[in-house]
A and B are shown apart, each in its own frame.
Chain A
Amino acid sequence: MFDTSTASAQGVDRIRRRSGTLSGEITNISTLAVTISKGGVEQKVPVEDIRTIDFAGEPEDLRPARLAANAGRYQDALDRLGAISLSDVEREAIRQDIDYLRMACQVQLALAGQGNLDQAAQEASAFLKKNRNSYRVSAALELLGNAQMARGEYDTARQEYEKLARAPSPYFQARSAILKGRLFQAQDNHAEALIEFEKALAAAQKSAAAQPEELEATLHRAVSQSATGKVEEATSTLKEIIAQAEPKETKLLARAYNALGDCYLQSGNDKAARDAFLHVDVLFSAAKTEHAKALFELSRLWRSQGQETRANDARQRLEKEYPASRWGKQ
């Protein structure tokens, strides 16, 4: 969703895709694709292939804000965005991007327990109403659904996720199924979740753009497999995911270690579970939602292992860093 490259936008628009960068002039933006023209030749880039867009003439704080958001430094990103004067922004696409980034950071902070969920959900709704043709609509739908799920509004969240599947693209079908699967997981309905993840895997195989979704679906499927008793199979899948993950995929690694910790808990291996969650705490604490969960589990595991100080330390960090997260409230 966010870009991590270092190129800067000057006089031309730049679309940073998964498979390289295109520069030129953006001539059309829709919810499904962005059209860029160079030397009179137009090229339509599907939204799922776009990592980010640097617009010609965008405010100088916008790009650092994007980078901070990509790195999970949402508060830094918001501070940068706060420095931008919207009245100076004339181009609609840029204004939309600023709106989106502000909303996305607020939702992410709220999801990590560092902000207000109600307000975040409202922001996401407002963005969607105001920017019906933005290429960020699909991402905003997912964020809105996530916020609703965190508030326990499962039905409304499902409706948002289902909207994604309406797009005529295997990528969005896979994405929608993954999100619905996670929704079922949140409701402890692992049998339904497994069905959704299987759908996601099937859809992901139809398109190269959907390949990363295959890994994510596999990861979440392992969690549900573990919950339905197939702990060994799930553990082995998760280990494979971790072993194959790129070092930069720290969020995925954090998720995978948390899932691995859950599997070990399921099989009663508390020490291995503690080590898995400890990986998230020591190595991947930038993945905030996952870090909150890891701290929660660690506080319990340390206590059960007679390590009161470590348990208290984990609990205090959880309450300090993620006061509003669902883990912090437990």
Chain B
Amino acid sequence: MSVHTGSFLQIVRVLCCALVWQTLALPLDAAEKEVDWAAQYLAGLRQRGWHDVALQYLDQAEEDPLASPEFLKRVEFEQALTRVALAKQSVSKRQRQELLDHACREFLSYAQENRNSPQEVEALSQAGNLFAQRALSSLNKADQLPPQAVNQRQALQEASRGLLEKASQALQDLRVSCATQLKAVPKAAALQKDPARRAMRSQLENRQAEAQFLLAKLKLNKARIYPPDSQPYSKTLQEAAKDFLRLYQNYEDKLIGFYGRLYEGRCYQQLGKSQEALKCFDDLVDRPISNPEFRRLVARAFRRRAEIHLAAGNFEDAIQECRQYLKESRNDELRKPEWLAVAYRLASAYEAQSQTPEVGKEAKRLRNEARKLLREIARHPGEFQQVARAALASPGGGDQKIVVKTFEDAFIAGKEALEQMNSSRLAAKLAAENNPGSVGNLQQQAKLHQSQALHYLETGMRLADEDTLLEKLLSARYYLCWLYWEEGRVHEAALIGDFLARRYPENQYARVAAKVALAAYERIYQEARGLNAEQAVYEAEQLTRIAQLIITRWPESDEAAVAMNLLLNVALRDNRIAEAETLLNRLPAANRGGAELSLGVSLWKRSLAPEGKASEEEILKLKKRAVELLSRGFESLRSQGAPSSAEVVGALYFAQALLAKGESQRAVEVLQHPQVGPLTLVRKKDATTRDPKIAVEVYKTALRAFVSVAPPQRDRAREIMQALEAAYGDSGNGGAQLTQIYLSLGVQLQRQISDLTTSGQVDKASAVAGAFEDLLERVTEQSGADKSWTIQNWIAQTNLQLGQGLRGQAAQAYFEQAEAVYRSLLAEAEEDPDFAPSKIAILAVKKRLGDTLQAQQKFADAFNQYTDILRTKPNMLELQQAAATTLQQWGRAEKDPKILENAIRGTLPQDNKKNLVWGWLRLASLADNAKRRSLQSADANSPQVKKYHDLFFSARLQVAQARFDAAQLATGSDREKQLGKARQSLTSMQRLYPELGGPHWKAAYLKLLKQIENTSS
């Protein structure tokens, strides 16, 4: 067992009998005698344990008017000290590591900035000590690993080696610095009248000795990196022994020299050279001394001697020596760690002796003696307190639980079980590779220890009383919180985690407890949403509260980034986009990738289905922002790799957005990115794309991309279609679903073509349409395609949609194609009554044939198609609208005011005197009535009410538009009369409905009114 470098450093300083360094650094001048308020403030913060505030203060110290130039010069050193203190408070391994790394860098940098000065010595001493502590910590961890953990042990030993080398370098530099400075200071004898410089000289000498000792000790620890009995192990220990011997010789009759002797003995002890070791210890134990530090040294020597006796099986010798030594020690010393260590060795010797055959009836007495000593050791803090308690409490393994009667016992037993659980888990993980047969058994052991830990800690909670130490109580609570999380008891985990984070934010476990609470609340929220998304309000509130606490309390932490992301997603789910944008900006830049993708997806979706009647400009803006976010998110994803499912979906949306922008080549690159491309991941059958819905969406997007890229990658497109067909091949209605996919692809292509046309990229739009035409042909050529109503219908509809997305001659070819296919469908249906799936399907085709004809300005034919359907279905609003629109466009094209009048008032009177085609006025009136009726059973924002609302304002606008169109055909007073009517239609609407149906309709009404006014004037 090695002595901790940190504690030893303190011992060494006591040994060196140093005066306080700071008081010796330099003769004080007048300025330094003044109050250093900044230092006092810093000390005050440290005294309160507020190292976080101290660090923030130091970061901003230049802003403090009370900070003197001297103080500002040592800010970096103080920052490093503060980070070390903060690391001690942190339970996060990674954070601790980062803080210590940072501190080490600062100490070294500060030393560099202050060469050959007391400040350099101090900084190098701190750096060396810190590196050494960290090396020891890694070595201790390596020692605790199960035997199977070969790789982990090697990694830790490697890390230790690096740290030991850095420690050694810092201490070597320290020695050089001391030597250089000592050269500049006269010998002590010459400094009789200059006590400050004399003290400084003495201090430098002490530091030199200290560095020499620590360097030797680093070698002693370095040996632990190598396997015992290996050549490097022996060599390193022998070198350390030599160094310690030199120290013994150089500082003869001084405490540090005797410590050199003790450690020299320890080197021999580890080398198995018991006689040499005992000789070293003999030099120490025989000295009659009263100095407490020397007495401590002697206690250590006795402990080591006992270890040698025990290892050699000389239990009786160990018993005799230790018992005698403890008997001769002072009462107050028996509770000190060094003496307790001797007592523990004595207990071990009793226990070992009790198991030898020759002791006979004495065995029981020896065991009793051992337990008596263990009870005493367990009562006092020290190296063996835990192990003594465990020995007293040990049930002898298995699932038998020991009876615990105090919180303290329960806490220790719980912690022990937790450690065993972790050890079993690690062993199981390692066994999966090395010894798979034992995995089951190890996992069972881990589970058993987990249940024991839970039992003890829950028992401890019941046993806790007002005398229980708060720190331990909070630790026990945190362990429970974590265990509940592990057990899936999320409500309990959330409750305890929340309590610790909120009630004890200063406690070392507060931050990790908050993290567990966050995860637990998220799971509770997801479960509640799964049951009923509308009813998850309370759960969302709980989640938001803990997330906000983390963000406010630990704003720079990784947990804050997670919490912020979570809040952002909740805001997105609730459609609070502005809030999500704000939250995104509060995220650290390095953690924004996932959030940017989520927000980009949300904005993109919104741009595709805008709320209300967003203007084209607003939609373009929304799309632009969405693409910006998706692009940035994808860049982060590329650099970080290993995407989550949500991030893959984000990348997929990015590809879709690029396609909509006409950047097909980039979309292909995104989809096929070797690490994070959605298509790549689907092909690899990556876990993130196992959801069949994701895979199908990826294929659909890829199909679009390959079809629309220039030149189109038809082979790839074919591969994707095959993949899609394979994906649907096994399902019963696979064909129908496939058709739906192709149809929706047609819709997307139409949108893509439309977007390209709107943004003036007509060539690109035509290229996409052309490429898709190839695809259509391929589909058409597929076996049985011409016999399939569904496929033919899709071909026609896709052509119609493509045509609608284009303009002029480019569109005409698609309309003609669509018309031909629709007519062929209807003819076939006429011949074969079973060809069409239903009568409704025939009506739908007729309607779309009408749409196709209208798009080609074949108004009479279109009108006939619509009225043909209206004769059987006169109340279909959509058809009535289409018929009125056709009449209006027809009238305008033919410059026929009568047809325009028909558009307004309807036409084709029937036997019941009512017109078959209603016209805009009747449509408006029916829409208004229908809206009023709907409002009785639905709220104003319901889709049904909205539909009638829009129809009403649209129809009334068209009335005025048709009158305006008629006025433009007329001349003289007739023209004025028509203009007057048009104006009146609009102004009366203004009077009746000042808001004119909302911003969208209002803009349209006012635009028309302005046109009328301009024409009149």
Contacts and interface: CB of A to CB of B under 8 A. Distances in A.
Contacts of A307: 505, 553
Contacts of A274: 53
Contact of B35 (A239, A247, A308): A247
Interface string A303-316: 01111111000000
B63 A272 contact: yes
Interface stretch (A149-157, A173-181, A275-283, A286-294): A275-283
B813 to A, nearest CB: 63
B63 A242 contact: no
A275 B65 contact: no
Interface in B55-70: 56-57, 60, 63-66
B941 interface: no
A307 B150 CA distance: 44
B41 A306 contact: no
Contact of A247 (B37, B45, B56, B57): B37
Nearest to A313: B48
Contact of A242 (B41, B65, B552): B65
Contact of A283 (B37, B60, B551, B552): B37
Nearest to B550: A306
Contacts of B552: 304-306
B549 interface: yes
Contacts of A79: none
Nearest to A278: B53
Interface in A133-179: none
Contacts of B718: none
Contact of B44 (A240, A283, A310): A283
B523 interface: no
A236 to B, nearest CB: 10
A306 B549 contact: yes
Contacts of B635: none
A195 B768 CA distance: 75
B532 interface: no
B505 A247 contact: no
B41 A283 contact: yes
Nearest to B34: A247
Given A240-B65, A247-B35, A272-B63, A309 B505 contact: yes
Contacts of B40: 282-283
B429 interface: no
Interface in B530-568: 549, 551-554
A243 interface: yes
B41 A282 contact: yes
A242 B64 CA distance: 9
A241 B66 CA distance: 10
Interface in B489-547: 502-506
A130 interface: no
Nearest to A311: B505
Interface in A224-283: 238-243, 247, 253, 271-272, 274-275, 278-279, 282-283
A27 to B, nearest CB: 41
A57 to B, nearest CB: 37
Contact of B66 (A271, A279, A308): A279
A242 B66 contact: yes
Given A247-B37, A278-B53, A305 B505 contact: no
A282 B66 contact: no
Contacts of A238: 65
A129 to B, nearest CB: 43
Nearest to A241: B65
A271 B503 CA distance: 22
A275 B56 contact: yes
B60 A239 contact: no
Given A243-B65, A272-B63, A282 B505 contact: no
B71 to A, nearest CB: 13
Given A240-B65, A247-B35, A271-B56, A309 B506 contact: yes
Given A247-B37, A275-B60, A306 B53 contact: no
Contacts of B554: 306
Contacts of B48: 282
Interface in A69-90: none
B56 A282 contact: no
Residue from the set A240, A247, A305, A306 with the largest chain B CB neighbour count within 10 Å: A306
Contacts of B502: 308
Given A243-B65, A272-B63, A275-B56, A306 B37 contact: no
Contacts of B503: 308-309
A126 to B, nearest CB: 40
A282 B40 CA distance: 8
Contact of A282 (B44, B60, B504, B551): B44
B66 A306 contact: no
A274 B53 CA distance: 10
A256 B994 CA distance: 59
Contacts of A306: 505, 549, 551-554
A279 B41 contact: yes
A170 B505 CA distance: 54
A283 B995 CA distance: 64
A310 B505 CA distance: 9
Interface in B16-50: 34-35, 37, 40-41, 44-45, 48, 50
Contacts of A253: 37, 66
A234 to B, nearest CB: 13
A229 to B, nearest CB: 21
A304 B48 CA distance: 20
Contacts of A305: 552-553
Nearest to B551: A306
22 contacts: A238-B65, A242-B66, A243-B65, A253-B66, A272-B60, A275-B53, A275-B56, A275-B57, A275-B64, A278-B41, A278-B53, A279-B64, A282-B45, A283-B37, A283-B40, A304-B552, A306-B552, A307-B505, A308-B503, A309-B503, A309-B504, A309-B505
5 tightest Cβ-Cβ pairs between the two chains A and B? A306-B553, A306-B552, A282-B44, A242-B65, A239-B65
Interface of B: 34-35, 37, 40-41, 44-45, 48, 50, 53, 56-57, 60, 63-66, 502-506, 549, 551-554
Given A241-B65, A271-B56, A309-B503, 20 more contacts: A239-B65, A242-B65, A247-B35, A253-B37, A275-B53, A275-B64, A278-B41, A278-B53, A279-B41, A279-B64, A279-B66, A282-B40, A283-B37, A283-B40, A283-B44, A305-B552, A306-B551, A307-B553, A309-B506, A310-B506
